[in-house]
Amino acid sequence: MFVDEAIVEVFAGSGGDGCMAMRREKYVEMGGPFGGNGGHGADIVFEADEGLNTLLDLRYQKQIKGPRGENGMGKGMHGKSRDAVIVRVPVGTVVTDLETGEVLADLTKNKEQKVIAKGGRGGRGNMALATHSNPAPSICENGEPGEQRKVKVELKLLADVGLVGLPSVGKSTIISMISAAKPKIAEYHFTTLKPNLGVVRASRHRSFVVADLPGLIKGASLGEGLGDRFLKHIERTRVIAHVIDMGGYEMRDPYEDYQTIQAELKNFKESLLEKPQIIIANKMDLEGSKERLEQFKQKVDLPIYEVSAATNQGLDQVVEALADMLDHIQKQPLTEQQTEKKHVVYRYVKEEPFTITKENDTWVIRGKEIEQFVRKMNFTTEEAFLRLSRKLRLLGIEDELRKRGAKTGDYVRILDLEVEYEE
């Protein structure tokens, strides 16, 4: 089964907690702090693998979770950091954050890696928290949470040439004749249900990759037929080759067929029309094809190559023409979002260090710095609460509470931590 799109939630591992321990050994006076740091949580890393050609594995894997770092231990032993979780995907995979639309990765080379969600740092043990003023702290830190994202994973084939055309015009036959690809070929619409890639050899030791994309029909960009699933694969191609049936299959008009495909390309992404294009006039061995081609030439100003895929007529000329074109066309850049020039204007925006609101009888404090402090601190000792008190005083939160009328016995909440206020 060919699967080229999946939605996955990724959860990097949280960091392990630091340890609070004291050295208690015979003949060692005043041993001091001896608690180790927690290990880092596992990153979630996507890696391109040229041996894969589908996202099938991810279609049924809704969540990817990294293990948590080990907690720190006594005797100064640090917790083990976790190895990254490697998610292997085909070359040409794009990973996008669903919430922000940011392109997190565009993996275009074999073995290329990108961190999609970063694991949390391990918390410090009391050995690392010792200072000159407090050489024996009885505190430790919690590990940081790992990043969490919901991402769209999308495969966009990396082909030099994209064969486009209505169903049954001969795309599959052409790619089977000019490369080693063996697509399914039959006399009915939508025989090709997935893109086929083939490596084409030309003269002077040149080669390029051709993609046979499933037949498009009118309305493909809006979901008709199979086109909406495969139009995106044309984005990376350097040349678009229109395969046009000149044999009059089902009494179709070649020019109308060409217009249909051009309209669908434009509706999907107008920039596709800026790519170099050629016409492969197929089925020239059939009666009436010459007349239809002459009429077609009067309306279309593009390079046209006459072929008959059934008899192998003219295919060598097409291969050489495409190789010559590709010699003068640069490789496709990465995603549009990554390559477009952006003019960034930086403006100073004053950010309040904290806010204080009253909900029922509780004072609620919010702010980046104080919340980060509370997340990290392990509130299992009296010293941890003393450090919180100092932090509130240093940030000016204590004075602000007093100004707003806070009284002894009132409750103060920061995240999930609730403490009693004392004047």
What is the tens place of the pLDDT at every residue in 61-115? 889 999 999 999 999 999 999 999 999 999 889 999 999 999 999 999 999 999 9
Q: Fill in the amino acid letter for 420.
A: E
pLDDT of the residue at 53 = 80
Topology at the third CATH level for domain 355-420:
GMP Synthetase; Chain A, domain 3 (3.30.300)
For the record, the structure tokens of 109 come out as 């080379």
Domain ranges in the chain with CATH number 2.70.210.12: 1-157
Q: Residue with structure tokens 């720190």?
A: 72
Domain ranges in the chain with CATH number 3.30.300.350: 355-420
Indicate the pTM of the whole model: 0.74
Q: What angle do CA 369, 149, 38 make, to 5 degrees?
A: 55
Half-sphere exposure of 116 (CA within 13 A, CB side): 36
The residue ranges of the chain whose pLDDT is under 50 are 1, 183-193, 219-227, 334, 336-342
pLDDT of the residue at 347 = 67
Q: What is the DSSP string of 253-304?
A: -HHHHHHHHHHHHHHH-GGGGGS-EEEEEE-TTSTTHHHHHHHHHTT--S-E
| CATH code of domain 161-331 | 3.40.50.300
pLDDT of the residue at 78 = 97
Domain ranges in the chain with CATH number 3.40.50.300: 161-331
pLDDT of the residue at 305 = 97
Total residues found in the chain within this entry: 423
Q: Residue with structure tokens 């239809």?
A: 292
Q: Residue with structure tokens 């060598």?
A: 316
What is the tens place of the pLDDT at every residue in 238-270? 999 999 999 987 788 999 999 999 998 898 889
pLDDT of the residue at 343 = 56
Is 1-157 in CATH node 2.70.210.12?
A: yes
